[in-house]
């Protein structure tokens, strides 16, 4: 029987995403009737924007490393990065990490396949959209609005830094999701962990999958001993 694990989160990238991870992880573990053992450390969103934009993978991994050592010192059994954009240097970070890293991307491919989804549309950072979730989807086709990647990527970055979403930004993202569906997506994936700011409480008329929820479900299973590393 797997043991309940102490979960470590690298937060702050951005703050709104960290809050949602915390809220949803607390709710999922409480639903299981168990206590949550959790520690969160703060990364710098502006450093991530710079390293992500310039593909400085090793530099960002080295920025994560002290935070991961802090989580280990706090007694964490595993760690997760609360940003899909922050996964661009996952392999480099894993090589430096003193803790097992729980990927937010690896579970998505299996989830889409289990739902019978053949093609998904991606909204998120420039890199996530341009690379189709870093090319890690094997069972599902990833679609992006290739003619709007810079526009939508900048809009996402501004929203993540601000931690708020104005009505115009929300309308743009909802319309972009509709455009992805019109181009063949069976569901629109919120492949940026701050996109809940735009989509929560909305009914856009198409299926929306929040990648954050898939990641949180796995972390909750680890936290309650329902899954093993």
Conformation bin of residue 134: beta by default, left when phi > 0, alpha when psi is -120 to 50: left
173 SS3 class: helix
Q: Count other C-beta atoms under 10 Å from residue 214's C-beta.
A: 19
pLDDT tens per residue across span 86-110: 999 999 999 999 999 999 998 998 9
- Judge if 127 and 162 occupy the same domain: yes
Residue 136, pLDDT score: 87
Q: pLDDT category, 26, cuts 50, 70, 90?
A: very high
pLDDT above 70 coverage of the chain, percent: 100
- Judge if 79 and 111 occupy the same domain: no
Q: Tell me the helices (H) and strands (E) count for the chain, helix number first.
A: 10, 7
> For the chain, how many residues are written?
229
Query: Is residue 46, in this structure, part of any structural domain at all?
Result: yes
Q: pLDDT category, 2, cuts 50, 70, 90?
A: confident
Find the CATH number of the domain harbouring 73: 3.40.50.1860
User: How much is the pTM?
Assistant: 0.91
- Judge if 71 and 127 occupy the same domain: no
- Judge if 97 and 175 occupy the same domain: no
- Judge if 110 and 201 occupy the same domain: yes
- Judge if 87 and 180 occupy the same domain: no
- Judge if 95 and 112 occupy the same domain: no
Radius of gyration over every alpha carbon of the chain, rounded to an integer in angstroms: 17
- Judge if 189 and 137 occupy the same domain: yes
Structural domain count, the chain: 2
Query: Is residue 228, in this structure, part of any structural domain at all?
Result: no
Q: Are 88 and 60 in contact (CB under 8 A)?
A: yes
Residue 1, pLDDT score: 66
Query: Is residue 229, in this structure, part of any structural domain at all?
Result: no
- Judge if 170 and 219 occupy the same domain: no
pLDDT tens per residue across span 180-197: 999 999 999 999 989 999
Local structure of residue 37 (DSSP, 8 states): -
Which residues form the domain of 63? 7-103+213-223
């Amino acid at each position: 029987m797997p043991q309940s694990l102490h979960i470590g989160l690298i937060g702050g990238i951005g703050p709104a995403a960290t809050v949602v991870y915390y809220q949803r992880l607390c709710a999922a573990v409480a639903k299981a009737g168990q206590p949550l053992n959790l520690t969160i450390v703060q990364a710098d969103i502006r450093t991530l924007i710079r390293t992500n934009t310039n593909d400085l993978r090793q530099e960002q991994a080295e920025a994560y490393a002290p935070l991961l050592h802090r989580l280990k010192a706090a007694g964490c059994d595993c760690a997760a990065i609360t940003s899909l954009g922050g996964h661009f240097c996952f392999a480099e970070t894993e090589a430096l990490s003193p803790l097992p890293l729980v990927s937010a991307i690896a579970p998505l491919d299996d989830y889409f396949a289990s739902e019978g989804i053949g093609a998904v549309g991606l909204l998120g950072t420039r890199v996530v959209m341009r690379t189709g979730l870093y090319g890690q989807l094997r069972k599902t086709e990833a679609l992006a609005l290739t003619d709007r990647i810079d526009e939508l990527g900048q809009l996402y970055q501004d929203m993540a830094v601000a931690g708020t979403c104005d009505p115009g930004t929300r309308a743009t993202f909802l319309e972009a999701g509709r455009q992805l569906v019109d181009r063949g997506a069976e569901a629109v994936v919120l492949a940026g962990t701050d996109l809940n700011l735009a989509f929560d409480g909305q009914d856009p008329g198409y299926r929306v999958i929040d990648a954050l929820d898939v990641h949180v479900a796995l972390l909750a299973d680890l936290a309650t001993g329902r899954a093993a590393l």
